[in-house]
Every structure is written in structure tokens, then in C-alpha cells.
Amino acid sequence: MSENAIIEIEDVSKSFGSVTALSGVDAIIREGEFFSLLGPSGCGKTTLLRLIAGFDEPTGGTVSIAGEPMAGKPANMRPTNMVFQSYAIFPHLSVGENVGYGLKKKKMSRQEIADEVTRALAMVDLAGYGDRAAHELSGGQRQRVALARALVMKPKVVLLDEPLSALDKKLREQMQIELRQLQKQIGITFILVTHDQEEALIMSDRIAVLFEGEIAQLDTPEALYRRPVNKRVASFIGVMNFMPATVTASSDTAMSVNIPSLGQVDLRADQLPEGLNPAAVDTIGVRPEMLTILFDESETAEREAPGEVTSASYCGDMTYYSVLLAQADEPVTISMRNTTGRSILTPGTQVRVGWGHESVVLFD
Amino acid sequence: MNVTRFLSRNWLVSYAVVYMVLLYLPALLLPLFAFNSSTIIAFPLKGFTLEWFGVLIETKALHKAVQNSLIIALITSAISTLLGILGARAIVRFRFPLKRGIVGLIMVPLILPEIIVGVSLLVLLMQIGISLSIWTVIAGHVLICLPFSVAILSSAFQGLDPSLEEASMDLGETRFGTFRRVIFPLILPGIISSMLITFTISLDEFIIAFFLTGTDVTLPVYIWGQMRFPAKLPSIMALGTILLLLSIFLLVLGELFRRRSARRQGKSTSPTGGLV
Ligand SMILES: Nc1ncnc2c1ncn2[C@@H]1O[C@H](COP(=O)(O)OP(=O)(O)OP(=O)(O)O)[C@@H](O)[C@H]1O
Ligand SMILES: [Mg+2]
């Protein structure tokens, strides 16, 4: 078992009849981290979470929690607790009874249970709600009750299946921050399932991106955003401009890349994603905020390329431009902050686009 | 406004009114004649009397029949509901080979003429040499009540979010504990509905009871036997009145209970939500 791993997933696969939900999943989740499983609908996120929780058994591979293989251990024997997507609040019990549900199985006195419940409710900002009926709660409150019910068990790992997807945007954003703070404060490992890349970026220490039952990339939010390993990850997380390119020369430390729309550039060898052969590179990617429109003569950039604005969409703090670079077939997206002195450019305007070699990501 | 004109314009309303009158008027005749002091069941009414109820109290054979019927109805509703819980749970939650066929077989007695069920059961029992008793009637009644139990309880199980069970297991509870603390309380309204309905079905079932009853006759069989004696008719009316009130009482009780528990769970309280 590696140093501070709490969950080890080794070569796990899961099939439902002829449907393969997961195949060859390897991951190590560290103690105390906020880990997210991110991916589009149907990619197997819930399936993986349920394998960890013990609701299903893997078809192949092993799941270990705290160094102990979990094969054959049902959910009620595992040191994990789940916050369900539907919250699964027991409708016939009060808020307090819901939170204390699992404690009744532990050897605790009535008073101890009541104290724990009170403390857990306070932790999720629901102090004094113990006697409320479950159906009197709002969506956000139900989510908190579900969380308190899991936390009160003092599990090694809390599993959350899209816990915020049922909430409206404002509340969701507020809960993202609260949940993250709470996790840091109590230091328990959280595994969050989400299909919302922004949510994963905001909340997580590390993220596993799943496509069709396989982990495409497992990294920190920053690494995922800056150094996506393939086009699919790149376009799933944020927006990426893709442009055709070829590697014209490469050595152990550097390579020369020809990007028709931007020009010739030298990149460091470590900008090549691991396992990618320089000869296989046919595309580069640049994020919209890594391209700049140089508004007047005095503004400069590491490199420049000429282009023409084809459209502009104004979003208050930002304006998103489509710019057709001189040697390109398709326009790129460029996001510009609307600071003082910057007017909104009209389509047809000829512009200089600034960019730098650091922001270039290579793909095959 | 003229009543006939109103009704002819609102033909749907008139249809409903006629329908309700035809449906419930016969039942209202029961209490009318039960308190009528004539031995002949005909208008005009003669006078008020409680005599026929007194007759009921004195008829020992009737008491025995009532007792038989109650025992049969109670045991039938218990067995049928218990089997219904097991069957409904399997139907709603699990997939197994020949599921459709098995569910179909459970439901068949619903459309099979009772006389066929009665005759074939009688023949079968004769063949294997089981003598008729209240237990044979119970067996027949369970057979025809089971579809109702399964239907009612299936809808109760369907309303149960499967993640509630998983949540309970996840919180350290065992399978049995999960049933006791989560599933049972949540399907209790369905269980009570099932018991009330199967109790009522068994209580007034005649054809199967007629074939399968031995010397211990049930109430409907007893009543049918008494119909041959015109002098007994008024007391049968009195008996019918009691049964009518009892049924209304049971149904109202069941519905009140169902609404209370639905309210507690924050569900809608539509009038037929809990029944079939
Ligand atoms: N019990 C099951 N029986 C059959 N197929 C299943 C079952 N559970 C999941 N699957 C299949 O496995 C695949 C992955 O499902 P899963 O629920 O893990 O997706 P997900 O990533 O959680 O998607 P979503 O974001 O929509 O919740 C899907 O193709 C799904 O149809
Ligand atoms: Mg899911």
C-alpha cells in the first residue's frame, strides 16, 4: 500500500450483461483529499462509486479501502458513507432521526446519539432542525441532512453522487464552496461524482476524467486544464482552440513545431504529453484566454499572427471573439477581459493576435 | 329552472345521477325493510320495529356462521397479504426467469369465473382426500385474494425509492433491520389496504365458500340457506344492514389511516391512491 492511500482501485472492470460500464480502471485516492470523478453521462461514474460503496461487486479487479481488500464485503461493513443523488432521506423519520439512523447500530447511549446528531446538524448549518419532518425541507436542506447523516458515522470516506445537481445555480455555487470548506475542516476524504467540469475544478484536489468506462486522465485541476492528455479531455474541460500542426524536428530537450495559422515555434520537450510520439502530432491546442487581441500599436506579445474578427459576443465582464487567422480555415475563440479603454470590436476588423509558446498543447 | 330541462341539457350529469341512484338505492332498501314491522318485503311500509335485530341475537346458527366467516376472513387476509408482500417485492425489485408467466399465473384468478375455481378446487380436494373445513375455504379465498394483495402491494413497493434501502444498508443496518426500520413503515399503508380489501372480499365471498365449506358454513352461505324461508327475510335484511354499516366503517377507517400516513410522508392524498 502506498504511503497515504485510503482507496486503491486496481484494474477494476464492471459489466452489466453485455454492457461494459467500466474497464481497467486504476486509481489511488489519498487520505484527506477531495477527489472527483468527472465525465459525461453514462461514462460509469456512478458505477465506480457504487463499487467503492459496496452496492455492487466488480466483475474484475480489486477495491481496497485502508489497505483492506473489500471483495465480498457488503455496504454495511465498509467504512464509507454515501450521499445519494436523490438524497434518500427516510420520509417517515424526522430530520434528527434521519441523522441518527446509523448511530442506533453503534453501541451508544440515547444521550450520546442525541449529542452527535446535534453536533452533525450544527456542522451543516441545520442547528435546531432536528424535530422537523423530512418533507418540510427544501432541496438544499435535504442535501445537508443527507450529508450530516453520512458525516455523523465518522466514515473514512464520504461518497457523493452528484449531490448538487438538483439545486439551482446560485445555491449550487454556494454549496460548492461550503462543501469544500467543510471537507478541509474535518479532513475526511471525499469522493465526488459530477458531470460538471467547473464544479470539479472548483472543489477538487484531484480529478479523474472518465470516458466510456476508462480513466482518460487523473490529475490536479490545474494540470488537467493546462496539460490535457488528449483532444477529448481538452474539449471536455473548458474551451480549447484546435489548429492543425506538425512537428518538424525534435530532440531530447526541444522540438520545432510548424503551426500554419500561427507560425513556426520551438517548444520544450516536456510540453509533449507523456507517451505521445512527436511524429504523431497533428494538432495543437490553445485556450481562448491564452490568445490576446493586441488593441493598439504599443501592445506587444511574445508572438503575433494577423487575423480578422468574424463575430463578437459580449458577456459583461468578458467579450468572446471569433477571429479568423490568416492561414486558417476555421475561426478561433479568443476571450478578452473588458477592462477600461477596450471597445468592442466589430466583425471585419483586422487585428493582431498575440500568443506565446508556453500555452501550446500538443495532440495526436 | 325546470329540472327536466336542466337534466336534458346536462346529459352527463343526469347519467351520473341515474347511475348513482341505481347503484346505491338497493343498498338503501336494506335498512328500510330491516326496521319495517311487516314480514313481507314490500311497500307500503307498515311500522317501525327492532324485532328483526332481536331475532338475530337469538339465532345460534347465525352466530356460528359469523364466527366462521370472521375467522376465515382474518386468516385469509393475513396469509394473502403476507404472500402478497413477498410476491410484490420480487416482482418490483428482482428480475428472474419466466417472471411474466409467473405474474400472469398469480393474476389469473382475477378473471377466472369463481364457479370454475370452486368446482376445480372441490374436485382436487376430493381426489387427494382432504375433507372440507374452514381451511379449505381459506385456501380458496387466498387464491382469489392474492391478486388484489399483489396489485396493492406492488404499487406500494413501486412508490419506494430503491436508494432508501441502499442508504439504510450504507448506514450499517442489516437487510432485516432495513426491512423493519425503512421498508415496513413505508409500505404499511399498502399492507393495511391489502388486509382490509382481502378481509372484505373473503367475508362476502359466496361461490367458493359454497363449494368448499363443510359443516362449518360461512355467513353468505348461511344467508343463502335462509333465503328459502320467507319468514326469515326481514331478519336477513337486518343482518344485511349490520354488514353494510360494518363495511362502510372498515373502508372509512382504512382510508383515514391511509391519508394520515400519506400526509406524514408528504405525499398527495388522492382519494384512491392507496387502493388497487
Ligand atoms: N444496473 C445496471 N444494469 C445495466 N446497465 C447499467 C446498470 N447501471 C449502469 N449501467 C450502464 O453502465 C453505464 C454507466 O452507468 P453509470 O450510471 O455509471 O453512468 P454515470 O457516469 O453515472 O452517468 P450519469 O451522469 O448519467 O449518472 C451506462 O451505460 C449504464 O447504462
Ligand atoms: Mg450517475
Statement to judge: residues A204 and A281 lie in one domain: no
Confidence band of B274 (pLDDT split at 50, 70, 90) = very low
pLDDT of residue B89: 92
* A117-146 residues touching B, CB cutoff 8 A: 133-136
Statement to judge: residues A166 and A199 lie in one domain: yes
Statement to judge: residues A46 and A171 lie in one domain: yes
Statement to judge: residues A151 and A263 lie in one domain: no
Statement to judge: residues A27 and A48 lie in one domain: yes
Question: pLDDT of chain A along its 364 residues, tens only?
Answer: 445 889 999 999 999 989 999 999 999 999 999 999 999 999 999 999 999 999 999 999 999 999 889 988 899 899 999 999 889 999 989 999 999 999 988 888 889 999 999 999 998 888 888 898 888 888 889 989 999 999 999 999 999 999 888 888 888 898 899 999 999 999 999 999 999 999 999 999 999 999 999 999 999 999 999 999 999 999 999 899 999 998 888 888 888 999 988 888 888 888 888 878 888 888 999 999 999 988 887 888 888 888 999 999 998 889 999 999 888 888 999 999 988 878 888 898 888 999 988 889 999 8
pLDDT of residue A209: 95
The yes-or-no verdict on residue B275 having pLDDT over 70 is no
pLDDT of residue B271: 42
Q: A55-64, A95-104, B21-30, B141-150: which has the minimum mean pLDDT?
A: B21-30
Contact assessment for residue B165 and residue B178, using Cβ atoms and an 8 Å cutoff: yes
A46 lines ligand 1 (CB under 6 A): yes
Cα dihedral A156, A161, A164, A167 sign: negative
Contact assessment for residue A163 and residue A145, using Cβ atoms and an 8 Å cutoff: no
pLDDT of residue B95: 85
CATH number, domain with residue A70 = 3.40.50.300
pLDDT of residue A192: 95
In this structure, which amino acid lies at residue A291? Answer: L
Tell me the pLDDT tens digit for each residue of A207-219: 999 999 999 999 9
Q: State the closest ligand 1 atom to the C-alpha of A50, by its place in the atom list counted from 1.
A: 18
Hey, what's the cell of A207?
A: 480529478
Q: Which of A231, A260, A283 is the last residue of a domain?
A: A231
Range of the domain at A154: 5-231
The yes-or-no verdict on residue B74 having pLDDT over 90 is yes
Q: Residue B35 falls within a domain, yes or no? A: no
Q: Residue B254 falls within a domain, yes or no? A: yes
A50 lines ligand 1 (CB under 6 A): no
Size of interface A-B (CB pairs under 8 A): 68
**Angstrom distance (rounded) from CA B221 to CA B212:** 11
Hey, what's the cell of A292?
A: 490576446
Statement to judge: residues A152 and A191 lie in one domain: yes
Query: A320 - beta bridge partners?
Result: A313, A335
In terms of C-beta density within 10 A (0-12 exposed, 13-18 middle, 19 or more buried), how is residue B95 classed? exposed
Q: Which of A208, A231, A254 is the last residue of a domain?
A: A231
Q: Residue B264 falls within a domain, yes or no? A: yes
pLDDT of residue B249: 85
Reported ipTM: the value is 0.82
CATH number, domain with residue B264 = 1.10.3720.10
Looking at the structure of chain B, the number of domains it has is 1
**Angstrom distance (rounded) from CA A45 to CA A193:** 6
Q: A138-152, A225-239, B27-41, B195-209: which has the minimum mean pLDDT?
A: B27-41
Hey, what's the cell of B69?
A: 366467516
- Check residue B180 and report its DSSP letter: I
Q: A38-42, A278-282, B86-90, B120-124: which has the minimum mean pLDDT?
A: A278-282
Measured from the Cβ of residue B262, the count of other Cβ atoms closer than 10 Å reads 16
Measured from the Cβ of residue B6, the count of other Cβ atoms closer than 10 Å reads 11
A53 CB neighbours in chain B (<8 A) are 170
Statement to judge: residues A261 and A141 lie in one domain: no
Nearest CA to CA, how far is B183 from chain A (Å)? 10
- Name residue, grid cell 350529469: B13
Hey, what's the cell of B189?
A: 399503508
Looking at the structure of chain A, the number of domains it has is 2
Measured from the Cβ of residue A143, the count of other Cβ atoms closer than 10 Å reads 24
Statement to judge: residues A208 and A176 lie in one domain: yes
Nearest CA to CA, how far is A239 from chain B (Å)? 36
Confidence band of B268 (pLDDT split at 50, 70, 90) = very low
Q: Residue B194 falls within a domain, yes or no? A: yes
Q: Which of A186, A201, A231 is the last residue of a domain?
A: A231
Residue A254, phi then psi, degrees to nearest 5: -150, 165
Confidence band of B263 (pLDDT split at 50, 70, 90) = low
> Which ligand sits closest to the CA of A48?
1
Statement to judge: residues A55 and A171 lie in one domain: yes
Statement to judge: residues A282 and A307 lie in one domain: yes
H or E segment at B7?
helix B3-9
Hey, what's the cell of B204?
A: 362476502
Report the DSSP pairing between strands A214-219 and A206-211: antiparallel
In this structure, which amino acid lies at residue A102? Answer: G
Q: State the closest ligand 1 atom to the C-alpha of A45, by its place in the atom list counted from 1.
A: 21
pLDDT of residue A299: 81
**Angstrom distance (rounded) from CA B222 to CA A309:** 96
Contact assessment for residue A117 and residue A96, using Cβ atoms and an 8 Å cutoff: yes
Measured from the Cβ of residue B169, the count of other Cβ atoms closer than 10 Å reads 23
**Rg for chain B (alpha carbons), in Å?**
23
Hey, what's the cell of B6?
A: 336542466
Range of the domain at B97: 57-268
pLDDT of residue B276: 35
Report the pLDDT averaged over residues B44-48.
Answer: 76
Per-residue CA distances from A273 to A269, A281, A358, A364 (Å)? 9, 10, 14, 10
B159 CB neighbours in chain A (<8 A) are none
A331: preceding bond cis by omega (within 30 degrees)? no
- Name residue, grid cell 485516492: A29
pLDDT of residue B272: 43
CATH number, domain with residue A246 = 2.40.50.140
